[in-house]
Amino acid sequence: MTAKISRFLEEVRPVTPCVVVDLDVIRDNYYSLRRWLPLAQVYYAVKANPAPEIVRMLAGLGSSFDVASRGEIDLCLANGVAAEAISFGNTIKKQRDIAYAYDRGVRLFAFDSEAELEKLAAAAPGARVFCRLLMTCDGAEWPLSRKFGCEFEMARDLLVRARDLGLDPYGVSFHVGSQQTDLAQWDLAVGKAAMLFTALDEAGIDLRMVNLGGGFPARYRKDIPAIERYADAVMTAMTNHFGNNIPAMIIEPGRSLVGDAGILETEVVLISRKSYDESVRWVYLDVGKFGGLAETMDEAIKYRIQTGHEGDDTAPVVLAGPTCDSADILYEKAQYEMPVTLAVGDRVRILSTGAYTTSYSAVNFNGFEPLKAYFI
């Protein structure tokens, strides 16, 4: 909670629910990453928070951008981003969207399959392409599925095929899992990438780039290692596996840049019990899973919450959203406690909600408006 956000909330008293994002925090986070990982070019993962205010500011600071769709390309180009600063990082693209990006000057694309490579060869001739490696992601709070990436042997063959199709086999990418707190995962992943460099070298192909993806965390309920520790883990791994021949490095932070910059202000709509036998209170907020807190799915992301009653006695609660959807429960097993003095009508603040909130909001679900956002 920054002084700036606190002042805004008190002076404006915006209608809840809303997220207030402090752009200064994002700028500081960007500078921190640049300071601790000077060799890496930052490609902001636009999907984490696609607000024009954020894109414009980061473009001004010299950031590049990782986009998932044509819509995000349009957003970047409309907000001062040069086409050369865009990486089309989604491995699942329609051929006409690849052509759309290429026509506008985008020259860097991800892939993880032969069919995608053929689309790229047809619609983006000569472009730089990088292959995403499949990783297991132990230790991530928001673990990745097997949706993206392919196994080592296939990646090797596909990069050779990229050259044969007239593309520029530029490098390799991976993702250790969002909110990854096991730093040893970086060494494993970089080691695999380096092996791919060697394998491709034998095929006469000179890979020049490692894309380390995202995975740097924001601070939720658990403490996290400082950004320096992440940077150190990454650079130690790079030096271990590439010696003094370090390739170009790309990182794609989303959550770690914008997560901590946002505060979600919400109102307590109802506090109740289900029966006389149960002591646990149900606390219903005016924001839920479909209004911006989708990352509480399976109680994966555990946000810190401030009630304004700090210091009072607390007791167990189940936290839920305002819709008629019975799946709209935030925390039932995660053992949240809230002050016994909490009352209907109180305003409650959910911390580190700058990432994956506004963009996860449903279109007017149950007739509730999507999450509003203020950038200050």
By CB under 8 A, the residues from 313 to 342 that bind its own copies are: 320, 322-329, 332
Cα(89)–Cα(43) distance, integer angstroms? 10
Smallest separation (angstroms) from its own copies to the CB of 239: 29
Estimate the crossing angle of helix 70-77 against helix 52-61, to 10 degrees.
60
Smallest separation (angstroms) from its own copies to the CB of 90: 5
Residue 147 or 279 having the CB closest to its own copies: 147
Residue 149 or 247 having the CB closest to its own copies: 149
Please report how many Cα atoms fall inside a 13 Å half-sphere around the Cα of residue 14, on the Cβ side: 21
Residues in 248-287 that interact with its own copies by CB under 8 A: 267, 269-277, 282, 284, 286
> Can 324 be counted among the known catalytic residues?
yes
Residues in 337-376 that interact with its own copies by CB under 8 A: 344-345, 358-370
Residue 48 or 235 having the CB closest to its own copies: 48
Asked if the bond preceding 17 is cis, omega within 30° of 0, the reply is yes
146 is a contact residue toward its own copies (CB under 8 A): yes
Residue 204 or 345 having the CB closest to its own copies: 345
Q: Which of 3, 10, 145, 223 binds its own copies (CB under 8 A)?
A: 145
Number of C-beta neighbours around residue 76 at 10 A: 28
Cα(355)–Cα(219) distance, integer angstroms? 11
- Residues with Cβ within 8 Å of residue 53, at least 6 apart in sequence: 21, 23, 375
User: 76, 137, 150, 324: which is the annotated catalytic residue?
Assistant: 324
Cα(192)–Cα(133) distance, integer angstroms? 9
- Show the tokens assigned to 96: 């006409």
Residues in 1-40 that interact with its own copies by CB under 8 A: none
Smallest separation (angstroms) from its own copies to the CB of 256: 16
Residues in 164-223 that interact with its own copies by CB under 8 A: 178
The answer to whether 255 touches 33, Cβ cutoff 8 Å, is no
Smallest separation (angstroms) from its own copies to the CB of 70: 7
Measured CA to CA in angstroms, residue 1 lies from 7, 222, 225, 295 at distances of: 10, 16, 19, 20
Report, as residue numbers or ranges, the catalytic residues: 324
